[in-house]
Amino acid sequence: MPARPRIALVPGEPAGIGPELCVRLAQRDWPVDLVAYADPGLLQDTATAFELPLELLDINAPSHAGALALAPFPLSKPVVMGRPDPDNARATINALLAAGQACIGGELQGMVTGPVHKANINAGGIAYTGTTELLADQAHTDVVMMLASPELRVALATTHLPLREVPEAITPALLERCIRITDRALRRQFGIGKPRIAVLGLNPHAGEDGLLGSEEKAVMIPVIERLRTQGFQLSDPLPADTAFLPRKLTHFDAVLAMYHDQGLPVLKFSGFERAVNITLGLPYPRVAVDHGTALELAGKGEADASSMAAAIELCAKIAARANEIP
């Protein structure tokens, strides 16, 4: 590993707030070298629009305040802020995949990503449900999406899936995989010795002893009981409506929610500007913002850069820790 970790900074949707966040955060000194995987013209135009200095350096150069190393990914069409263009979808995805490949190959030690507009990528003819899934496929590995704020960590058993498909997706194998990946990441990436995971039930009141749904008894409890015998610290399926009470959360290091909107509204309500999205299970740290493309704010200078700043900080911390923890 180089003396200073090198981390990709990928803006995501060019017509969203991602490029502005990258240019603003390039003004700071970081304990890592930042390598932008982006269209150089877009970054320079953004810097000019906000009257910020920006130097784009060779891909292997060290970055510093006001200067980013650059891996160029030219867009096909000029960017109109707030209006994603499907013709730019390919370059957006290629930048993410190239950064992922550089992380897998060891040239980079992690990746920070801005928000991607899922519908625009699909309108560009590329099947895409999220960057989590894209990078998992590329690395041929199972992953878990976790959103984390300073107060709360929420992992998801299922991610970008229509709600009607969720119950069938929650199989014993999936649940076991998610628990193992989450437990391992809490140890290795967050430095927690004996992680305690709160597992949320799928149904109201965690099924109310079978009255309101059978998945807890039929699928979840057997997996939880088996993994407990192997040393995992897991709750029984908890009713999701009260699992997030602050008093209850003190007993756990992370919450495993069964689906996207069971866990993320609580996390985003409690820590929208400070939370990040981390992909657990990849062979490198990938940390993203906790928000979307916010098209209505693009180009206006009103976007809050705190989540991307927190993403760079966490990615840098995990990259530095990678060599310390077996």
Ligand X SMILES: NC(=O)c1ccc[n+]([C@@H]2O[C@H](COP(=O)([O-])OP(=O)(O)OC[C@H]3O[C@@H](n4cnc5c(N)ncnc54)[C@H](O)[C@@H]3O)[C@@H](O)[C@H]2O)c1
Ligand Y SMILES: N[C@H](C(=O)O)[C@H](O)COP(=O)(O)O
Q: Calculate ∠ Cα 90-93-95, nearest 5°.
A: 105
For the bound state, the minimum distance from the C-beta of residue 149 to ligand Y, rounded and expressed in Å, comes to 12
Query: For the chain, what is the radius of gyration of the CA atoms?
Result: 20
Of residues 49 and 67, the one with the C-beta less far from ligand X:
49
For the bound state, the minimum distance from the C-beta of residue 197 to ligand X, rounded and expressed in Å, comes to 23
Of residues 44 and 138, the one with the C-beta less far from ligand Y:
138
Report the distance separating Cα 6 and Cα 2, nearest Å.
8
Binding residues for ligand Y, total number by CB under 6 A:
9
Report the distance separating Cα 199 and Cα 155, nearest Å.
10
Region from 2-10, 32-40, 128-136, 298-306 binding ligand Y, contact rule CB under 6 A: 128-136
The residue whose Cβ lies closest to ligand Y is 130
Task: Fill in the DSSP letter of residue 114.
Answer: -
122 annotated to bind ligand: no
- The burial class, CB within 10 Å (0-12 / 13-18 / 19+), for 225 is exposed
Of residues 122 and 233, the one with the C-beta less far from ligand Y:
122
Region from 51-59, 219-227, 241-249, 296-304 binding ligand X, contact rule CB under 6 A: 296-304
Two structure tokens written together for 301: 């200078």
Q: What H or E segment, with its residue span, contains residue 196?
A: strand 196-199
Contact assessment for residue 186 and residue 253, using Cβ atoms and an 8 Å cutoff = yes
For the bound state, the minimum distance from the C-beta of residue 165 to ligand Y, rounded and expressed in Å, comes to 16
Q: Is 293 in the site for ligand Y (CB under 6 A)?
A: no
Of residues 132 and 235, the one with the C-beta less far from ligand Y:
132
Interface residue list for ligand Y (CB under 6 A) = 116, 130-132, 260, 264, 277, 288, 290
